[in-house]
Structure 1
Amino acid sequence: MGNTAVVVGGGIGGLAAAIGLHRIGWDVTILERSPVLEDAGAGISLAANGLRALDELGVGGAVRDASRGQYTGGTRTPRGGRLTRMDGSALEKAVGTPIMGIPRSTLHRLLREHLPAGSLEVDTEVTAVEQVGPGTVRVDCGTTALEADLVVAADGIGSAVRSRVLPGHPGPVYSGSTVLRAITEHAVDVRADFELTWGRGAEFGHIAFLDGRAEWHAVLSLPAGTRFADPLTELRRRFRTWHDPVLALLDATRPEAVLHHDVNELRAPLPAYTVGRIALLGDAAHAMTPNLGQGACQALEDAVTLAAALGAESTVETALARYDAERRPRSQAVAGAARQAGRMGQRLSHPLAVTLRNTAMRLTPSRAATRMILRHHVWVPPSLN
């Protein structure tokens, strides 16, 4: 088996895949099209499955040290009424760790620090990927071409590699929701580690960080492409009657820090996560809505599973077949569950439906709610040693 790989995309999934491949002895080059590593995005929650994947990659300890455990919080109504209560201690007892909140930029930095020097190339756009022989894939980057034994497509929901190797797939579609998010400029007294508030066709949530700052996000059911001339003013108007600390979080945010993206997903499941010696990973394979907080965790699972398969199997082909067989059913099931969670959460707008949902949530025992969370968090990574 050869041992050279090109990873297309320097996001969480691509960096994790490169670390995993390096740990099993492969030479890896990561190609990132952005000229500057801006680490776009605000905050991220990492569940037990994602943290276990990071442990197997050798990054888990550093990530935990930079994260804040989510022990308190839950789900509320716009007036502050409690729908569910987070029991982070029960979750920690069940799976060994609470959910952890960390700035996305910090996670990116920690992953990059575990890469071999010189393995990440920025400002490099891949223009073509082609299998040129039974064991060789060529990657064209403008006037430069690289040849490798394996290509990992981790180039996100709009994956150019996916569109080339699976041209019949319809690609991403709009979920019906758009999200604005930011990290506050300074510490804010949010009182809860993690919280979601569901209104009619709107959601507001926050993740508290180790340094006292917080990430907030506002999800709105609006037509695709909707944008605001002054996002913070618009959000203050829409959430003016919502409970504390919604307005405090908005007031602690610089206008230029606000990010606004439509939420897209791969609603049509891919028929395969591999084509020849090309493996699709993360959002390129199974981009999902963020309603379960599992997008990054599933990408981290992909990375460890791919590296473990390549380390255990005798050929790249059998390793990729194993990767596809192990990852496609689980990740697509999680994507479907995330879509359903969105329909029962912020996407609900009819008053009767919202009332029924809220009543059901209040009546659900906390143990049952914990079991529902564990359904996605319980995952044992394959060993890379």
Structure 2
Amino acid sequence: MYAASSHPGTSSSSSMEESHGIVIVGGGICGLATALALHRKGIASLVLEKSEALRVDGGSIGVHVNGWRVLEQLGVAAELRETANLVTAFIRLRMPLISYQMPPDQIQNQRSLPNCFQVPRRVAGRKEEHPDTRQELRWLKRKDLLETMAKDIPAGAIRLGCHVTAIHPSDPGVVLTTTPAGGGGGGVIRAKVLIGCDGSNSVVAKYLGMSPSKPTPPRTYLRGFTTYRHGHPFGDRFLRLRGRRFFVGRSPMTDTRVSFFVACHVPSAATSSSSRVVDARDTRHAVLQKLRDQRCPAEVVEMVRDADPDSLNVVTRVWYRPPWQVALAAFRKGAVTVAGDAMHAMGSYIGQGGSAALEDALVLARSLARARAAAAGGRDDGDDEPFLLGAATAIREYVRERRLRVARLSLEAFVMGELLRAKSMATKLACMAILALLGTKALGHTNYDCGRL
């Protein structure tokens, strides 16, 4: 199990003060990957996570080849590959295409479609021996990914139930005001280097003066996974099914489990709460009715109906940073910076949020490690003063290296979202032209290597 500690604050903790060299706010994928990457380079850090447990909600996450390259460098790829099958084909369908070419209940048997992209691989029986890493895509349980990274992080380096409520400049670094998740008195943490991996509503991004992330128009997004006790019939093919008023994605995770998402408009879900997340089980009934009304294939309806209840997650808005903001925003202030969704929230339109966050973690840790080697003569003390004095330069290099990459991803995701919402043909054609230039259909965004740790 991962090594974590609860927040040490007590009712009288307002006078408590502690100091750390590197503090990471947020214990999600990006935060844990950053801590692990720093640990692999011999640099200590402290992760502050406001939840009282690792945030494993969201069911599953697709990791493309660019993300797997990072997981290789972190030393956890082999273990994670054992938990998920390789996706070998992408099938994109529209409901009219199905009605003309095949019975709706038999889409899993269709192999040679006009809009099908096959991924080459070498196989032995059911499992691949050596997947073509240039094309690798697997769907992981978020829980597996987080816990695999967390267990390799040193004991006490993950502090759960610690909410950062304010950040103030100091010399050196910054001062964080924290409160425990259960209430009561808070504490003060001095950090010489601060990394915000705390999502689209980032307190660190606010400190940097970044504009708030923006919400898309209300729409219901249902995610989860379904277990087939005797095995599912879908092979290793990822399906994207688009109807007139819904959009479905389905991907195999293992021989007995598939991951899915459904996007549609359910007014009761979209207006029932002002929060980002609403009750998943109640919303599923409305989504199922919408799918039935649209004559969605029975296998898709059954997949949603039989989904594992604990895996269900519903959001009514996707939060994102516009590409022009990502291209121009101030991502750093001294030795303070952001990564992951705090830097470039982009929704799930191209499935790169998690993999891009892993890239951020590797590049940032590598930059900080170089600063330590240059300023501290390669010593193993991650808190030495020469290293920390060079951290601001390292962060500037990290931001410069990442900006073009994440701006392009943000543009691609933004245009894809606009295409899915577009009603006019002119807008659709413009979006498709931009996506063609970016190589979206050929998954060009996955052919990226951020280098070695």
- Which TM bucket (shorter chain)? 0.7 to 0.9
Q: In structure 2, which of residues 25, 47, 54 is the aligned counterpart of residue 30 of structure 1?
A: 47
Q: Distance in 2 between matches of 1:303 and 1:106?
A: 18
- Indicate the residue corresponding to 2:249 in structure 1: 205
1:108: how far off?
1.1
- Of residues 302-311 and 175-184 in structure 1, the stretch that sits farther from structure 2 once superposed is 175-184
Q: Residue 100 of structure 1 aligns to which amino acid in structure 2? A: R
Q: Distance in 1 between matches of 2:358 and 2:217?
A: 23
- Secondary structure in structure 2 of the residue aligned to 1:291: coil
- Of residues 218-227 and 280-289 in structure 1, the stretch that sits farther from structure 2 once superposed is 218-227
Q: Residue 370 of structure 2 aligns to which amino acid in structure 1? A: A
- Secondary structure in structure 1 of the residue aligned to 2:120: helix
1:249-287 Cα distance to aligned partner (Å, 9 max, x none): 022125564321121111233512212211100000000
1:321 aligns with 2:396: yes
Structure 1 segment 178-217 matched on structure 2, within 5 A = 178-187=220-229, 188-217=232-261
Question: Would the alpha carbon gap of residues 176 and 83 (structure 1) be closer, same or farther in structure 2, given more than 3 Å must change?
Answer: farther
Q: In structure 1, which of residues 65, 87, 96 is the aligned counterpart of residue 82 of structure 2?
A: 65
Structure 1 segment 1-385 matched on structure 2, within 5 A = 4-78=21-95, 80=98, 82=113, 84-89=115-120, 95-133=133-171, 135-142=172-179, 143-166=186-209, 169-174=211-216, 177-187=219-229, 188-221=232-265, 225-227=270-272, 230-240=282-292, 241-254=295-308, 257-261=311-315, 262-267=317-322, 268-269=325-326, 271-313=329-371, 314=374, 315-344=390-419, 346-348=420-422, 372-384=441-453
Q: Distance in 1 between matches of 2:85 and 2:31?
A: 24
Q: Distance in 2 between matches of 1:246 and 1:354?
A: 30
1:308: how far off?
0.7
Q: Distance in 2 between matches of 1:141 and 1:83?
A: 55
- Of residues 319-328 and 260-269 in structure 1, the stretch that sits farther from structure 2 once superposed is 260-269
Q: Distance in 2 between matches of 1:210 and 1:320?
A: 39
Contact 1:289 1:338 survives alignment (8 Å) = yes
Structure 1's consecutive aligned runs of 4 or more residues displaced over 4 angstroms after TM superposition are 90-95, 221-224, 254-257, 352-357, 368-372
Contact 1:76 1:83 survives alignment (8 Å) = no
1:373: how far off?
3.4
1:176-207 Cα distance to aligned partner (Å, 9 max, x none): 54311112244443345311111234211112
- Secondary structure in structure 2 of the residue aligned to 1:232: helix
1:196-221 Cα distance to aligned partner (Å, 9 max, x none): 11123421111211251112111125
Q: Distance in 1 between matches of 2:191 and 2:343?
A: 21
RMSD: 3.1
TM-score using structure 1 length = 0.86
Q: Residue 145 of structure 1 aligns to which amino acid in structure 2? A: V
- Secondary structure in structure 1 of the residue aligned to 2:303: helix
Q: Distance in 2 between matches of 1:84 and 1:354?
A: 22
- Of residues 16-25 and 206-215 in structure 1, the stretch that sits farther from structure 2 once superposed is 206-215
Identity of aligned residues (%): 26
Question: Would the alpha carbon gap of residues 373 and 4 (structure 1) be closer, same or farther in structure 2, given more than 3 Å must change?
Answer: farther
- Indicate the residue corresponding to 2:14 in structure 1: none
Q: Distance in 1 between matches of 2:135 and 2:429?
A: 32
Question: Would the alpha carbon gap of residues 157 and 59 (structure 1) be closer, same or farther in structure 2, given more than 3 Å must change?
Answer: same
Q: Distance in 2 between matches of 1:225 and 1:304?
A: 37
Question: Would the alpha carbon gap of residues 97 and 65 (structure 1) be closer, same or farther in structure 2, given more than 3 Å must change?
Answer: farther
Structure 2 runs not aligned, ≥5 long? 1-18, 102-112, 123-129, 180-185, 273-278, 375-389
Structure 1 runs not aligned, ≥5 long? none
Q: Residue 87 of structure 1 aligns to which amino acid in structure 2? A: Q
Q: Residue 137 of structure 1 aligns to which amino acid in structure 2? A: V
Q: Residue 223 of structure 2 aligns to which amino acid in structure 1? A: R
Contact 1:202 1:220 survives alignment (8 Å) = yes
Q: Distance in 1 between matches of 2:340 and 2:438?
A: 27
Q: Residue 335 of structure 2 aligns to which amino acid in structure 1? A: R
Q: Distance in 2 between matches of 1:179 and 1:159?
A: 22
Question: Would the alpha carbon gap of residues 256 and 59 (structure 1) be closer, same or farther in structure 2, given more than 3 Å must change?
Answer: closer
TM-score using structure 2 length = 0.74
Contact 2:20 2:189 survives alignment (8 Å) = no
1:335-384 Cα distance to aligned partner (Å, 9 max, x none): 1101112233x32456x689989xx99xx9xxx99885342112223322
Question: Would the alpha carbon gap of residues 327 and 210 (structure 1) be closer, same or farther in structure 2, given more than 3 Å must change?
Answer: same
Q: Residue 115 of structure 1 aligns to which amino acid in structure 2? A: I
- Of residues 259-268 and 172-181 in structure 1, the stretch that sits farther from structure 2 once superposed is 172-181
1:286-305 Cα distance to aligned partner (Å, 9 max, x none): 00021110001110010000
> How many equivalent pairs are there?
372
Q: Residue 246 of structure 1 aligns to which amino acid in structure 2? A: V
